[in-house]
Structure 1
Amino acid sequence: MNWPLFRTKDDTRGLEELNTDRKKVVIVGAGFAGLSAIETLHDKNFDVLLIDRHNFATFQPLLYQVATAGLNPGDVSFPIRTLLRKYPKVRFRQGELVKITPESNLIELEDGSRIGYDYLILAFGATSNYFGIKGAAEYSHAIYTLDDAIEVRNRIFHQFEKAAAHGISDGCLTFVVVGGGATGVEMAGASAELCDRALRTDYTSIPRSLVRVILVEQRSKVLEVFDEALSEYALEELRRRKVEVMLGSTVDEITPDTVHLKGGVEIPYGILIWAAGVGAPPLASTLGLPQGRGGRIVVNPDLRVADHENIFAVGDIAAATSGDELVPQLAQPALQEGRHAGLQIINLAQDLPTSAFSYKDRGIMATIGRRAAVAQLKGGIDLTGWLAWMAWLVLHLITLLGVRNKLSVLINWLWHYVSWGKGPRVILGG
């Protein structure tokens, strides 16, 4: 079975006529990098096929707010087919990549479909890196997909309902977050605020002193990539929100109800969120492509996969460098890499030389909670508190997909701000 606009040589039955003047570009992954590549290529002389295992794109930076009941799942997801309506040369196929045959310019999907390409862009993202820690993959929760966020939200409220019905057992209402980077800090801060609101309004029989939010970080500070003053501000704000921050603490093993730290410390927990590292998904190691640190696919300076002239890797899955440094696995680099790959394909189709990717750092941000954030911007500008929080809100609203999503998120944020103390929306799934 083959995609009509991207047929293979050995099967032409019942397929549409191709525009032989246009090269075929296949993009795997509808994240920041993949969609950025489409923005660059959609109005050029290419037929583009986007493949993703979901039929919606997810705005990953706000998944933690879904996990802590601050936003609805629909606020951070957008139908891919709706997004592509304005691009007549771009098609979408839901499916999962399982194999690449570079010598034949073919990929294969899980359902057996074989799809031909002239150029291939791999942008299928990353997943958690558990660093070989026993029990981490089995018993912790990561937040990389919409399903992950919903599962975490439901588990949190399940623990509250369990405590309200049967009393508080050891660790039942202890929420542990492992990793003191931006994701860990945002999740810990939001979890603490969720607990405060939930106990004040919906679970009034549960004493706040019996609910713990613990952030475990191996290094000596949180937000290590931020300036020292911003890191210290974030630490103070977390502790002000009653988050127990354990610096210099290394996870040794995780069991179904206890996290064991090196040195003999044991913490019983109700739910454990893993935010300690980013790694390549299992798919990356099955494609026969060169891999580097963390399983990321090795690419040349122009983002073409090493030893492959017409395959690009971009976003979190690519071991892209700028100068002598590995490019961080963040949204902004992914957007820039996707655009750069698209521009190189345009050059290659015209027999023009490619150029090296150069990452333009526009700054980094993290929110700790309501009216508290840190922003390290281009030009050495550091912001904290309410001003940084507003900058964070505006940036995320601008980059959200879809007008409906922007309005929905804005309304939800405004409502939470003016109705603070009325409690979260408690919704339990199956």
Structure 2
Amino acid sequence: MSSVAEKKQSRRRVVVVGGGFGGLKAVAALRKAEVDLTLVDRRNHHLFQPLLYQVATAALSPAQIAQPIRAILKRQRNVDVVLDEVTGIDTTARQVLTRSGPIAYDDLILATGASHAYFGHDHWQEAAPGLKSLDDATALRRRILNAFEQAELSEDAAERQALLTFCVVGGGPTGVEMAGAIAELAHRTLVHEFRRIDTRIARVILIEAGPRILAAMPASLSAKAQQGLERLGVTVRVNTAVTDCTQTSVQVGAERIDCRTIVWAAGVRASPVGSWLGANVALDRAGRVKVNPDLSVPGLPGVYVIGDAAAVNMAGGKPVPGVAPAAKQQGRYVAGLISRQVRGQSAPPPFAYVDQGNLATVGRGEAVVDLGWLKLSGLPAWLFWGLIHVFFLIDFRNRITVSLDWIWSFVTDGRSARLITEGERKQP
């Protein structure tokens, strides 16, 4: 018995903070390694973030895009799951500090993701919420659905139009997908469900500060995405910077747009990893940790940062994008590096990101796909987009229910998750 205990004590202690794409991939890739793993997350579920906007627009329910972390890892015997909030890191004592107490580590993988960036205007957050968590998505769903309910009750034409005006700030994939989904909800799904308002008068405005939406894609696909949005009734405004957001309006230059629902999709900033690691750690403008080519933190042996919290460049000098495939590749890479160290093998080559392309859905039956060697738009792109997203859902049951809901929505224009739960019926 003592030899077993001694063997366990001699095993490397690897702590992973964050149960997102990168953190889970790192844990899974270490399942056969002679290490003891601890995964720490303040939420008990892994979230498939690319489909959050579908929860926010009532196409899917929260349980369809989330899975309990313990259920995912129940067969991996070398990992403990800790539901707790990290408050700091003691790099000298090699401990992760949590509200429940310290957790010792030999190797630390920080995969804590990112939050919304308001570019120095954090007071806009209450008026213009973003979309990073299930709580964000259900709050936005509540706000969007309540806007229609309040418009139905309003006797004032100007107030009714403001309630039926939806502004989405940011023309990246999240903004494009949100704008298209809200337009479909207003112009198709809800058309016959209200008696006093015509939901087709709803305005959906997508505001982008740059010269075009989906700037990471080729200009031809960007143009097709804009055309698709406009066919849905979305007003796309490029070269337009937001200068103020309030509970009742969006300011763009000298123009004020009266609206009651604003969705922020204009930028991200890293989680507080940099402050946890100390003043000597270099950060970029978005608060991401500047890591070595092997994703380790300079001056902190055994500490690695991956995913949206890491600033790492590709071979040509461009930054690795903050997308799920990049986080997963980084998680797999760090896990492989630690496994080689445990086995006494030489270090692997530096991390090299393999770009798997960009995808964005515009609306029902329409999307754009850029795989580099292959570019698609329209229905073929939408089918490809759906196949990829269903394939990467972790739970097989969720793949089935999501597929059935999408088929039902495609045939009927319906949305199956249009619920405002009791106690949440607040003014937008």
Q: TM-score, normalised by structure 1?
A: 0.92
- CA–CA separation in structure 2 for the residues paired with 1:148 and 1:102: 32
Give, in angstroms, the shift of residue 86 of structure 1: 1.4
Residues 117-137 of structure 1, C-alpha deviation per residue, up to 9 Å, x if partnerless? 110000010011111136422
Matches within 5 A, 1:147-296: 147-167=135-155, 168=157, 169=159, 170-208=161-199, 210-262=201-253, 264-282=254-272, 284-288=274-278, 289-296=281-288
1:396 alignment counterpart = 389
Determine which of 57, 63, 70 is the counterpart of 1:74. 63
Q: Where does 1:31-70 land on structure 2 (aligned, <5 Å)?
A: 31-70=20-59
2:399 paired with 1:409? no
SS in 1 for 2:349: coil
Partner residue, 1:91: 80
Deviations 1:212-234 (A, max 9, x none): 10000011111111111101100
Verify: 1:382 aligned to 2:372, yes or no.
Answer: no
Native 8 Å contact 2:405 2:416 kept in 1 = no
Counterpart residue number, 2:16: 27
Which runs of 5 or more structure 2 residues have no equivalent in the other structure?
A: none
Amino acid at match of 1:115: I
- 2:118 corresponds in structure 1 to 130
Find the residue that maps to 2:163 and give its secondary structure: coil
Q: Does the 8 A contact of 2:191 with 2:198 survive in 1?
A: no
User: 1:272 aligns to what SS in structure 2?
Assistant: strand
Amino acid at match of 2:271: P
**Aligned Cα RMSD in Å?**
1.6
- Whether 1:342 aligns to 2:330 is no
**Residues in 2 aligned to 1:45 and 1:52: alpha-carbon distance in whole angstroms:** 23
Q: Distance in 2 between matches of 1:76 and 1:209?
A: 29
Do residues 310 (structure 1) and 302 (structure 2) align? Answer: yes
1:119 equivalenced with 2:110 (yes/no): no
What is the total number of aligned residue pairs between the two structures? Answer: 411
- Please name the residue that 1:5 is paired with: none
Q: Name 2:366's counterpart in structure 1.
A: 372
Q: Distance in 1 between matches of 2:213 and 2:200?
A: 24
Deviation at 1:285, TM superposition (A): 2.7
The equivalent position to 1:360 in structure 2, one of 351, 354, 357, is 354
Q: CA deviation at 1:408?
A: 1.3
Deviates more, 1:222-231 or 1:135-144: 135-144
Contact 1:175–1:270 (CA<8 Å) still a contact in 2? yes
Q: TM-score, normalised by structure 2?
A: 0.93
C-alpha change, 1:413 and 1:285, in structure 2 (3 Å) is same
- Asked if the contact 1:322/1:358 (under 8 Å) is kept, the reply is yes
* 1:322 counterpart (310, 314, 325): 314
Specify whether residues 196 and 18 from structure 1 end up closer, same or farther in structure 2 by C-alpha distance, changes over 3 A only: farther
Any stretches of 5+ residues in structure 1 without a counterpart? 1-15
Say whether the 8 Å CA contact 1:293–1:319 is kept in structure 2: no
Q: 1:18 to 1:427 in 2, by over 3 A?
A: farther
Write the distance in 1 (CA, Å) between the matches of 2:51 and 2:370: 19
Q: Report SS of the residue matched to 1:312.
A: strand
3-state SS, counterpart of residue 316 of structure 1 = helix
Residues 203-260 of structure 1: CA deviation (Å, up to 9, x unaligned)? 2431245311000001111111111110110010101100011111001111221111
CA 1:424–1:115 in 2, change beyond 3 Å: closer, same or farther?
closer
CA distance in 1, matches of 2:348, 2:107: 14
Q: For 2:6 and 2:66, how far apart are their aligned partners in 1? A: 34
Q: C-alpha offsets along residues 293-312 of structure 1, whole Å, 9 cap, x if unaligned? A: 30001110000012111000
Give the match's secondary structure for 1:293.
coil
Shift of 1:267: 0.7
Distance 1:134 1:145, change over 3 A: closer
1:135–1:253 Cα contact (<8 Å) kept: no
